[in-house]
Structure 1
Amino acid sequence: MTNQVQTLKEHLRATIWSRCLSAAQMARVEADTFEQFVPKGGFVFRKGEPVESWTGIIEGLVKMNNFSAAGKSVTFTGVPTGAWFGEGSLLKDDHRKYDVIALRDSRVAQMPRATFEWLLETSLPFTRFLLMQLNERLGQFIGLVETDRMLNVDTRVARCLAAMFNNHLYPGVDKTVQISQEEIGYLSGASRQRANQALQLLEKEGLLRLDYGGIRVLDVEGLRQFEA
């Protein structure tokens, strides 16, 4: 993920979807969208809350999380810098089906529902972007179900890292991912120690390099295809 610190305005203008907006549309987006700071471990949203905004990560990392009836924590996916999410819940006008929790101190952009719906009504290119976003999201979650059923930690860690390299969903990610082994563990459903073992295996396979404070991905397609 990029280390460059962006202002909210810079973040909005760097998004894929903003490129298709008119000057007037962009002006309203910049006027209406606001920034929220969420400390590590804090809730961006709680399950059951009404959905009132479309959300982007200016800086940081959050996870979509839920708990089973037995109390087991289940992480659906991580959302890194540059990503936007929540469009499906807005379109359904539904309550949150999951918690969104910051894995590190995070700066979050919130576009109010009214602005989001106005863009849908006034910008055909924005609507097309959202169709692509929903299609990519569907593919991502189908892949997550497949990976989870493999029940192999090494494979889950590989696919977890590979999933971050989706240019549409996560345009803010570069080849050096600023993510800790603890965070990888959260996102792949493994302990920190077990995630570390998996990363060392993937490093031996030549798919990544463990650097101080992050992971240098050497072969994204290799991670996608990896099976232990």
Structure 2
Amino acid sequence: MKELIRAIPLFNGFDDEELDYVLRAAVRRHVPKGGFLFREGDPADAMYVLLEGRTRMFTSDAQGKEFVFMIGEPGLALGEISLLDDEPRGWSTQAEEDSDFLMFTKTDFHAALQAFPHVKDMLIVNLAGMVRRLSYTMKNLALLDVYGRLRALLESLVVDVDGQEMVNEPLTQQAIADRVGSSREMIARILKELVFGGYIRLENKRIILLQKLPERF
């Protein structure tokens, strides 16, 4: 467990004594796929570090419409903002797959900030990364049409698998719509046109890029 924690960016540079402190304070929590780590508006009582799995962070309105603004990967700190300003949770975090977390209570979180000043530096880096990602998302929402946002999303997720460019993350049309701020029907229409044009191929909820996506739809 110690080596696993040592690999997390938030604890980069911790010596064995400091890691032992972390292990004594942390509680390991498992959230099954589809479960919520916390919901928008919940009181802030702990922060978390994602060890394994993947999460989605989203906000929603009274009608249940969702906008996903971030996908959490292992090593990400979650929920620390509400502990810093003592405000309710600003968004919901749901497990995209079975996920494991380290949980630190509010008391332990503030004690760690006092005991290890360099944790504050890592939190600042973590928050700066979040602000950059949110700024990029807001820029796309403001300046790009739906196709432009879809294209930006796909290009950000493309990986090379055995010489084939593809979005290896399984994405439903609704999941894509939630992440680009559109309707499922619009996403379905755009994907259909891209398939018809020979730009992509769809296989088991995965998108394979056959050629560079057009600048405009």
Q: Same fold (TM over 0.5)?
A: yes
Q: 1:187 aligns with which of 176, 179, 188?
A: 179
Q: Give the residue type in structure 1 aligned to 2:170.
A: S
Segments of structure 1 that go 5 or more residues without pairing to the other structure are 1-7, 166-174
- Structure-2 residue corresponding to 1:79: 72
What residue in structure 2 maps to residue 121 of structure 1?
A: 114
Distance 1:152-1:124 versus aligned 2 partners, 3 A rule: same
Please provide the CA RMSD for this pair.
3.6
Tell me what 2:86 maps to.
93
Shift of 1:129: 1.4
Gaps of 5+ in 2: 159-164
- How does 1:145-164 map onto structure 2 within 5 Å? 145-150=138-143, 152-160=145-153
1:2-58 Cα shifts (integer Å, max 9, x gaps): xxxxxx544312112222223322111112222222222211112222212222222
The range that moved more, 110-119 or 86-95, is 110-119
Query: Deviations along 1:74-107, whole A, 9 cap, x unmatched?
Result: 2222212332222221111121122211222222
SS in 1 for 2:127: helix
Q: 1:153 to 1:146 in 2, by over 3 A?
A: same
- C-alpha displacement of 1:73: 1.8
Taking the aligned partners of 1:15 and 1:198, their CA distance within structure 2 comes to 41
Q: 2:12 aligns to what SS in structure 1?
A: helix
In the alignment, does 2:14 pair up with 1:17? no
Partner residue in 2 for 1:42: 35
Structure 2 SS opposite 1:131: helix
Cα contact 1:13–1:19 (8 A) shared by 2: yes
Cα distance in structure 2, aligned partners of 1:86 and 1:188: 23
Q: What TM-score do the two structures reach when normalised by structure 1?
A: 0.70
> SS state of the match for residue 63, structure 1?
strand
How much has 1:164 moved relative to structure 2?
7.1
State the TM-score, normalized to the length of structure 2: 0.73
The change in CA–CA distance for 1:227 and 1:15 in structure 2 (over 3 A counts) is: farther
Structure 2 Cα separation of the partners of residues 34 and 85 of structure 1: 14
Deviates more, 1:84-93 or 1:185-194: 185-194
**Identity, % of aligned pairs?**
25
Contact persistence 1:45–1:99 (CA under 8 A) = yes
- Structure with the greater relative contact order (CA < 8 A, sep ≥ 6): 1 or 2? 1
**AA partner of residue 63 (structure 1):** R
How many residues are aligned here?
A: 202
Which of 151-160 and 127-136 deviates more?
151-160
Partner of 1:169: none
